Amino acid sequence: MNKLMLLMCTGLITLQSHSAGMYEKSKKLGVNSHCLSDLKGLTDYLKPVGANLDFVHPSNPGKHTSSHISLQKGIDGSTAYIVSLNPKSNGCSYSYSKVVTFNTSNCNTIKEQLASNLGSNLKIMLDEKGYTIFKNLDNNVYILMTEPNPTTCTAIETQIVF
């Protein structure tokens, strides 16, 4: 009974199949139209494919914060996408995080790729004790990296938009 109450209080949880995308499912669940527009842009950029989990308010999803999570298996690791949408009277604020684990690439390889792709738009905020934090100066996206072992790299890309 307590689990049922918890589910009712925290929102509606759905597990999507691989064919239903994060945006399409959120639209069906009644997420705020301003937030849907932002989510469409995010899903076009992030391209989440995989198992999806959505948390929305059970009776009024268009007026409350929602959370959308996708997990994707890859050849060299896995990727998790986490998006939170917060509707406002005249728009939407949101945050997203993309967590990637590379099983056969070390962080130095990934850092070199980032540097060659972003060049002078990439600023290193911290690079010590096995952690690196980058900031993309174009869009205030932050990338955090750590290397759990010599052949694995975990990177988190994150941004919040008010």
Cα separation values, 13 from 41, 66, 76, Å: 23, 10, 29
Which of 60, 86, 112 finishes a domain?
86
Q: Which of 31, 48, 40 is nearest to 97 (CA)?
A: 48
Domain containing 109 equals 104-162
Residue 81 shares a structural domain with residue 114: no
Computed over its alpha carbons, how large is the radius of gyration of the chain? 17
Alpha carbon distance 162, 156 (integer Å): 20
The reported pLDDT for the residue numbered 160 is: 93
Beta-carbon contacts of 43 under 8 Å, excluding residues fewer than 6 positions away, are 21, 22, 23
Which of 86, 112, 147 finishes a domain?
86
Alpha carbon distance 50, 44 (integer Å): 15
Residue 162 shares a structural domain with residue 126: yes
Alpha carbon distance 85, 64 (integer Å): 8
Each residue's pLDDT tens digit, 38-74: 999 999 988 888 888 999 999 999 999 999 999 999 8
Which of 59, 86, 113 finishes a domain?
86
**Is 95 part of any domain?**
no
Alpha carbon distance 92, 51 (integer Å): 25
pLDDT above 60: residue 16? no
Residue 113 shares a structural domain with residue 82: no
Residue 72 shares a structural domain with residue 126: no
| Total domains in the fold of the chain | 2
Each residue's pLDDT tens digit, 128-154: 888 999 999 888 899 999 998 888 999
Residue 19 shares a structural domain with residue 60: yes
Residue 3 shares a structural domain with residue 60: yes
Residue 142 carries which DSSP code?
Answer: E
pLDDT above 70: residue 8? no
Q: Which of 145, 75, 74 is nearest to 108 (CA)?
A: 145
The stretches of 90-133 forming alpha helices (DSSP H) are 107-118
